[in-house]
Amino acid sequence: MHVTSASTKGRAIGLALVVAMFGSLLAAPASAPSTDMVDVIVRTVEGASIASTIEQMGGTVTGTMTAIDSITAQVPASSIGRLESQPGVMSVTQNSSVNLSGGGWDGGKDVTNLAEVANVTGAGSAWDNGATGNGVTVALIDSGVTPVEGLTTPGKIINGPDLSFDSQNAGMQNLDAYGHGTHMAGIIAGRASGLGQVSSHLKMKNFLGVAPDASILNVKVGAANGAVDVSQVLAGINWVIEHRNDNGMNVRVLNLSFGTNSSQAYIIDPLSYAVQVAWKKGIVVVVAAGNDANGSALRSPATNPYVIAVGADATGGTTRTNDDYIPDWSNCGTNTRSVDVVAPGKTIASLRVPGSYADVNYPSARLDETLFKGSGTSQAAAVVSGVAALILDSHPEYTPDQVKKVIKGGATSLGGITPKCQGSGLINAFLSTTSSSPGTAIQQGWTQAKGTGSLEAARGSDHLADNGVVLEGEIDIFGQVFASPAWAGSTWSGSTWSGGNWNGSTWSGSTWSGSTWSGSTWSGSTWSGSTWSGSTWSGATWNGSTWSGSTWSGSTWSGSTWSGKNWTGLTWDHGKRIR
């Protein structure tokens, strides 16, 4: 194990990226840096050049992260202080050494393009039958969405609030500097021609997401360094609920490719409660199961039995189901709450964000100039969100309970796989969109969540920390007391965002509190910068498909952002071709 440190000027970007909420990162064990040379991320003001200065200090530039005006470099440890003080340098953050590894996966050469996903899931047949997601908006709470080719159709991306720490930097608002949210958006609703998604069955050469005519509501919570707190996610879900019909939007689906190892029951967990409120307000909530291992319980909020919990399926590269299997990293759940369905989630090719963190640090996952591949229940959840949009295009009158019923009812059971690991089986979009009416009176009868539990317990073992000061207890990112019973009551009444306020903090329409975090404190630590700092990795070891021992340094963070299991589906795989 090794723990990195962050040296900052003002506030630095700690790129201990936590891809379980957003993507799929496959990394090898991190090796400790030498006593002389260290890996750093240098963020600069726009247009500033620092490469020659790094070389003069005895360092080497190793990469450029254009999405966040940063470069990666190796420099002498003794030079960090001088580098921080150079004109044009905003921050210098020491980074973990992360390298790609094929260990634990399928050799790193397989690729499942979205045309194949359309074949396997019946989405292509649903398109032929007229269901394309038209008129449906899918809310994506993630790391942001960058309008790369495939997401540029007019009205395709609708930017909601940027609730991330990046929101204080106008040049980064709403954009995906990590690379995960864009990948999910492409799977759900991408549309472009000539991006190499060849399918003999569909006789096309286009990039088409599962619901190619749906719109994406982009609600960004994850910063460029992956930093995010549960309180930001709660604010994002609340915003979606309150504004689901604004300006012609029709938010009927909410995709959540993340989860925490919350220590409390779904009935009282605030995050579980938030997704149930969305469900009761008419929004189908699709949640990734988690990437800990088959024997692991579902991550929150997939633990809430109302929502659709999605595990990952490996298709074997064919449209047959007799060669499918459940990857060993896909959480199955418990006897009391397991996955509802599975969907393709292994080596999925979707849209690439050049210059993003994932793109720079995992170059072998690049397939061409526009495509990137990753594996995880994140990707599987995105597929199911697209299918939900297809169903609501065909049957806009369906309630979330009815959508869930036809998704489960249309799924194909996979032979030789325990029901706990596949739920009702592999989704079938055609059968789900064409099934007879599920009945107007159908209603799930689970005990409803109350949301009166602990915000701290909802975080599980993962916490934000600023220069060693941990965000913990019943306070949000602004240091405001989070009184869950009062919050739960206001959510039901529809007053969560009344007057532009959320939990006592003011939202001005595009940023928090007059465009700064100034004056917000937790545990005596004042937040006044533009990015999150002090993010370090503890136990930063990928052992095949999971963090070493499936935990972060004994299931805790040492001054970090979310763990590699929270952005469920973060394994960017090796790959050099599309079949």
Among residues 378, 385, 490, 520, which one is catalytic?
378
- Cα three-residue angle 27-33-39, rounded to 5 degrees: 75
* Single pTM value for the model: 0.77
Strand-strand pairing, 520-522 and 525-527? antiparallel
Residue labelled with tokens 């591949």: 373
The reply to whether 180 belongs to the active site is yes
Checking if the pLDDT of 134 tops 50, the result is: yes
Residue 466's nearest CA partner among 534, 371, 373 is: 534
**Neighbouring residues of 235: CB distance < 8 A, sequence distance ≥ 6:** 163, 221, 502, 503
Please tell me the predicted confidence (pLDDT) of residue 429: 97
- Contact predicate 373/367, CB 8 Å: yes
Among 137-151, 154-168, 357-371, name the one with the lowest average pLDDT. Answer: 357-371
Please tell me the predicted confidence (pLDDT) of residue 220: 94
- Tell how far CA 396 is from the center of its chain: 27
155 class by beta-carbon count within 10 Å (0-12 exposed, 13-18 middle, 19+ buried): exposed
pLDDT above 90 covers what percent of the chain?
42
pLDDT confidence band for 45 (50 / 70 / 90): confident
pLDDT confidence band for 510 (50 / 70 / 90): very low
Element (H, E) at 139: strand 137-142
E runs forming strands in 473-524: 501-502, 505-506, 520-522
DSSP code, position 295: T
The reply to whether 201 belongs to the active site is no
Please list the alpha-helical segments (H only) found in 74-227: 80-84, 114-121, 123-128, 180-189
Please tell me the predicted confidence (pLDDT) of residue 534: 26
Phi, psi of 317 (to 5 degrees): 80, 10
DSSP code, position 260: B
Please tell me the predicted confidence (pLDDT) of residue 257: 92
* 61-76 tens-digit pLDDT: 877 765 556 777 888 8
Helix (H, G, I), strand (E, B) or coil at 210: coil
Among 86-100, 145-159, 299-313, 374-388, name the one with the lowest average pLDDT. Answer: 86-100
Tokens representing residue 515 in the block: 């465009």
**Neighbouring residues of 203: CB distance < 8 A, sequence distance ≥ 6:** none
- Contact predicate 140/217, CB 8 Å: yes
411 class by beta-carbon count within 10 Å (0-12 exposed, 13-18 middle, 19+ buried): buried
Checking if the pLDDT of 203 tops 60, the result is: no
When comparing pLDDT for 391 and 531, which is higher? 391
Checking if the pLDDT of 11 tops 90, the result is: no
Checking if the pLDDT of 442 tops 50, the result is: yes
The number of beta carbons lying within 10 Å of the beta carbon of residue 107 is 9
Mean pLDDT of 285-314: 95
Among residues 70, 96, 125, 180, which one is catalytic?
180
Strand-strand pairing, 251-256 and 137-142? parallel
* 521-571 tens-digit pLDDT: 344 333 332 222 222 222 211 112 222 212 212 222 222 233 333 444 444
Please tell me the predicted confidence (pLDDT) of residue 502: 63
Among residues 142, 313, 324, 573, which one is catalytic?
142
Tokens representing residue 430 in the block: 């055609």
- Contact predicate 233/221, CB 8 Å: yes
Residue labelled with tokens 């095949």: 544
Phi, psi of 490 (to 5 degrees): -70, -30
Give the Cα separation of 211 and 403 in Å (integer): 15
Mean pLDDT of 126-138: 96
Mean pLDDT of 423-447: 88
Checking if the pLDDT of 520 tops 60, the result is: no
- Contact predicate 411/428, CB 8 Å: yes
Q: How many alpha carbons lie under 13 Å from residue 178 in its C-beta half-sphere?
A: 35
Question: What does each C-alpha distance from 525 to 68, 117, 119, 522 come to in angstroms?
Answer: 25, 47, 52, 5
- Contact predicate 482/231, CB 8 Å: yes
pLDDT above 70 covers what percent of the chain?
71
Q: Where are the domains of the chain?
A: 114-434
Please tell me the predicted confidence (pLDDT) of residue 519: 28
Give the Cα separation of 325 and 159 in Å (integer): 37
Give the Cα separation of 167 and 385 in Å (integer): 26
* 260-294 tens-digit pLDDT: 899 899 999 999 999 999 999 999 999 999 988 99
Mean pLDDT of 225-252: 88
Give the Cα separation of 346 and 330 in Å (integer): 10
Compute and round to an integer the Cα radius of gyration of the chain: 22
DSSP string over 29-78 = PPPPPPSSEEEEEEEE-TT---HHHHHHTT-EEEEEEGGGTEEEEEEEGG
Please tell me the predicted confidence (pLDDT) of residue 337: 97
Please tell me the predicted confidence (pLDDT) of residue 4: 23
Please tell me the predicted confidence (pLDDT) of residue 501: 61
Residue labelled with tokens 């719109």: 215
Please tell me the predicted confidence (pLDDT) of residue 453: 93
Compute the Cα dihedral for 480, 484, 488, 490 and give only its sign.
Answer: negative
Domain boundaries 114-434, corresponding CATH code: 3.40.50.200
pLDDT confidence band for 359 (50 / 70 / 90): confident
pLDDT confidence band for 93 (50 / 70 / 90): low
Mean pLDDT of 318-332: 89
Checking if the pLDDT of 40 tops 70, the result is: yes
When comparing pLDDT for 35 and 575, which is higher? 35
Please tell me the predicted confidence (pLDDT) of residue 38: 76
Written in H, E and C, the secondary structure of 383-402 is: HHHHHHHHHHHHCCCCCHHH
Give the Cα separation of 515 and 531 in Å (integer): 12
The reply to whether 101 belongs to the active site is no
Residue 260's nearest CA partner among 297, 286, 235, 295 is: 297
- Greatest CA separation found in the chain? 72
Checking if the pLDDT of 511 tops 80, the result is: no
